[in-house]
Amino acid sequence: MKVPTQDKIHKSVGWANVVIARAERACALVLLCSFILILTGGCGPKETPSIKKSRIIAAENIELRKELDRRNKEIEVLKAQYSQKIDEQREQLQKCLQEKEELKEKSRQNIRNQVKGVLDTVLEENKKLREENTKLKAQVEKLQK
């Protein structure tokens, strides 16, 4: 068997060192590229500010729509309550108007009765006064003759 000489050993070791050095450089390059990609890429897909704003606005719109729906439901409940109260008040108003008309009619009837009573009394007195006037005229004529 032949023993390798020092030059040959040195050349083969040198060649191995070159391969190892190249492998280390390639590994370092891969690690460096990976590190750069991770730093520039972040944890998720990078969004532009307009996309972020759009998402924030969309979420805000959803919340506002929910709030609007809640308010609309409240409005419907209040409308129902007030509608019922308004119906009750309209009924009361109709009753009051009817009572007012009845009282007006009673008042008119009372006035008619009072006027009729006064008129009857006045007519009766007028009749008596005419009769008395006629008698007095007759007496005056008798006395003048």
Please state the φ and ψ torsions of residue 47, each to the nearest 5 degrees: -110, 145
User: What is the model's pTM?
Assistant: 0.40
Looking at per-residue pLDDT, the higher value among 48 and 125 belongs to 125
Using pLDDT thresholds of 50, 70 and 90, give the confidence band for residue 127: very high
Amino acid identity of residue 104, one-letter, is K
> What's the domain count of the chain?
1
Task: Please check whether residue 14 lies inside any domain of the structure.
Answer: yes
Task: Please check whether residue 71 lies inside any domain of the structure.
Answer: no
- How far is it, in rounded angstroms, from Cα 123 to Cα 129? 10
pLDDT tens by residue, 62-112: 999 999 999 999 999 999 999 999 999 999 999 999 999 999 999 999 988
Residue ranges making up the domain that contains 17: 1-39
Task: Please check whether residue 131 lies inside any domain of the structure.
Answer: no
pLDDT tens by residue, 43-76: 555 657 788 889 899 999 999 999 999 999 999 9
Q: 55: which residues sit within 8 A by CB, 6+ positions away?
A: 47
Task: Please check whether residue 16 lies inside any domain of the structure.
Answer: yes
pLDDT tens by residue, 4-19: 555 554 555 555 666 6
Task: Please check whether residue 29 lies inside any domain of the structure.
Answer: yes
